[in-house]
Structure 1
Amino acid sequence: MAPFKKTCFLFALFFFLYANSILSQQITGAPFGFIQNLRGCHKGQNVSGLHDLKKYLEKFGYLNQNHSNDDDEFDDLLEAAVKKYQRNYHLNITGSLDSDTVNQMMKPRCGVADFVNGTKQRSHHKHSHNTRFHTVGHYKFFSGPRRWPQSQLTYRFDSSVPVPASLNLNSVIRQAFQRWAQVSHFTFQEVPANSNANIVIGFHRGSHGDGAPFDGPRGVLAHANPPTAGNCHFDAEETWSINPGQTELDLESVAVHEIGHLLGLDHEPGKPEAIMYPTFSYGRIKRDLNADDIQGIQVLYGLQ
């Protein structure tokens, strides 16, 4: 190999290894990064950090809040919670923290719990008779189910921190709403910040008054309430973008997901391609509604 080519090769290799090292450090230091240190844990062990895992599983609805989750014992309740998580995400049901389970748990995600009070939300498995779809729907609704009584909804912005002008927030959110309007009976109208509105959208960091504090980069990215509470919050500490690079989040992709919650759709962990899948990837653009998402909103509001 010529000296110049060899030098270029070594430089490229060094840069690749350095970049991967930085990314690994970012993941390990993220809010869910502690789970990486629990890889391989199973029932009967007592390992430092398991109490944090119990808090994680409690937060997303897999462990009952009535039990003490402050110890580091891998007990029967924790094993049952891990199995419940694995079943929900269509993983091998081992009850232990195998690599696939750890990798899934560490992914940045929506802050809406997968279960409420340990109970799965209303699930629908329906074959579509609409000629546009040739799939079985696995969409989920919030218990009730929760619906808006009207089809014309207003929204406004109210952030506790500055939002970069480069995000074109008004335009991006308008486009995200339009994706749902195109497949439903809803119309959405932005109103001034000092007006009453059905939906309030904002960027916040840390504790922001709703009892669900954000945890910083690479943890909970955003959360939203089902009808008719109408609050949608984004973690301002994330690196948001309208054209994301490898370490950035696409704002519109996450907004489309959260609007699904605002309209009454719950998570669908069994459909990674659906907008309502709970986790997100940095650098990825995922803005188009999946057939499952469309079926869900149309069945929820009696449009099929």
Structure 2
Amino acid sequence: MKLRFCTVPVTLLLLVFWINPTPASAHFFPNITSIPASLIPNTTIWDAFNALDGCRKGVKADGLAKLKKYFQLFGYLNNSYDNFSDDFDDYLEKAIRTYQLNFNLYATGELDAPTLKHIVLPRCGNPDVVNGTSTMRSGKPSNRYSANSTIHTVAHYSFFPNRPRWPPGRTRLTYAFLPENQLSDVVKGVFARAFERWSEVTPLTFTETSSFYGADLRIGFFSGDHGDGEPFDGVLGTLAHAFSPPAGRFHLDGDENWVIDGDFLNSSPMSAVDLESVAVHEIGHLLGLGHSSVEDAIMYPTISSGTRKVELANDDIMGIQELYGSNPSYNGSDPTLTPRTEWDTSGAPRVDYLLWRRGILLVVELFSLLLFV
């Protein structure tokens, strides 16, 4: 949900936007080795923030004005804030502390190296704080969260304000691609798999349709300012954004180096972005989920380039099932859509968790029998 104050009727804004879209010829690559060296930047749009290491309230440093705009973009400074000087003021300190809490960092309100390392990561363009209320860790009671917990028994998922969702009974949703993007069947297949990951654990089903303007969910690749008030910024930075139900709009930055096969085992160029990982995250927004502070969750806002992250975590499943209930065929075990030949976030070949777990139990059982021989 993108909240903006405007006197123009929303329906008129949507009509104008879709009559005059600005589609991009997106960059798709079958694998990371096919990305031309000319498309791999030496630096990214936010790398300059690293020079602010050690800044704290009361100092003045070049680049703080741009950092304030970053924090306003993601909701940490409200829209009425207009002091975009290079002075480190009280508002910036509070914004940084909230950010640090949301991303499980030491909440000092100062720009230390771990905080800056996280700020420069590519991320979803949806805000973490909406109308002054954080949907992540800093917006939850402190007794509900333990950053050191290894077993997540407490929900950290979140929803958009007022918990918008697709109406009860609307379990069959259609999706379509902006015709001007002229996507191949291979690229469309990536999105189909991303939708399946959500339908596996909910009663929702997703069907592609050729009727773009008649579809519930509309997917398009754009560059720069594309008419929705959330311009894209080129390679890395913000990767995509999506709107809450029932808007159904899902926009991706056409300037990214989108990789199709998800294999980052042998090498991982700084600018390579796994398309399915981003698609699974943004579909969560289309269905009504906000951002999560659980790093393993699909709804965590950032993802490093050269990373694959496509499997729903328990936090994602709990959140989406609170909105829609469970798929009658889902038995509560780990989702099984990722084949054993795919890659996980570490870049290593994935071993199916269920088979691994059964193998460990078998070894333990055999070991126990040997002890009593």
Contact 1:160/1:203 (8 A) holds in 2: no
Deviations 1:192-246 (A, max 9, x none): 0455011100111111111111001110001100111100011111101112441
Q: Which residues of 2 match residues 44-59 of structure 1 at below 5 A?
A: 44-59=58-73
Q: Which residue of 1 aligns with 2:290?
A: 266
Identity of aligned residues (%): 47
Deviations 1:119-177 (A, max 9, x none): 12387899xxxxxx9732211111110100111111110165555x4x81211111110
Contact 1:256/1:275 (8 A) holds in 2: yes
Q: Which residue of 2 aligns with 1:222?
A: 240
Secondary structure class of the residue paired with 1:136? coil
CA distance in 2, matches of 1:56, 1:195: 32
Contact 1:205/1:213 (8 A) holds in 2: yes
Structure 2: unaligned runs, 5 residues or longer: 1-36, 145-150, 328-373
Q: Which residue of 2 aligns with 1:276?
A: 299
Secondary structure class of the residue paired with 1:96? coil
Secondary structure class of the residue paired with 1:53? helix
Contact 2:56/2:111 (8 A) holds in 1: yes
1:70 Cα offset (Å):
1.5
The counterpart of 1:254, out of the listed 278, 292, 299, is 278
Q: Which residue of 2 aligns with 1:143?
A: 161
AA in 2 matched with 1:175: R
AA in 2 matched with 1:251: L
Secondary structure class of the residue paired with 1:142? coil
Higher deviation after alignment, 137-146 or 98-107: 137-146
AA in 2 matched with 1:151: T
Q: Does residue 80 of structure 1 match 2:94?
A: yes
CA distance in 2, matches of 1:40, 1:124: 28
Greater RCO between the two (CA within 8 Å, min separation 6)? 2
Secondary structure class of the residue paired with 2:101? helix
TM-score by length of 2: 0.68
1:281 Cα offset (Å):
1.8
Higher deviation after alignment, 67-76 or 103-112: 67-76
Q: Which residue of 1 aligns with 2:316?
A: 293
* Matched positions, count: 272
Q: Which residues of 2 match residues 102-181 of structure 1 at below 5 A?
A: 102-121=116-135, 135-149=153-167, 150-158=170-178, 161=181, 163=183, 165=184, 168-181=186-199
CA distance in 2, matches of 1:203, 1:41: 37
Deviations 1:5-32 (A, max 9, x none): xxxxxxxxxxxxxxxxx9xx946x3121
AA in 1 matched with 2:70: Y
AA in 2 matched with 1:76: D
TM-score by length of 1: 0.83
CA distance in 1, matches of 2:69, 2:133: 17
The counterpart of 1:99, out of the listed 106, 109, 113, is 113
Secondary structure class of the residue paired with 2:124? coil
Contact 1:159/1:204 (8 A) holds in 2: no
CA distance in 1, matches of 2:213, 2:120: 39
1:34 Cα offset (Å):
2.0
Deviations 1:72-111 (A, max 9, x none): 1001111111111111111111111000100010000000
Deviations 1:225-277 (A, max 9, x none): 01111000111111011124412111111100000000000111x21111001
Secondary structure class of the residue paired with 2:94? helix
CA RMSD of aligned residues (A): 2.4
Structure 1: unaligned runs, 5 residues or longer: 1-21, 127-132
Q: Which residue of 2 aligns with 1:233?
A: 251
Secondary structure class of the residue paired with 2:206? strand
1:302 Cα offset (Å):
4.3
Q: Which residue of 1 aligns with 2:53?
A: 39
Contact 1:110/1:223 (8 A) holds in 2: yes
Secondary structure class of the residue paired with 1:276? coil
Secondary structure class of the residue paired with 1:233? strand
Secondary structure class of the residue paired with 2:319? helix
Contact 1:55/1:69 (8 A) holds in 2: no
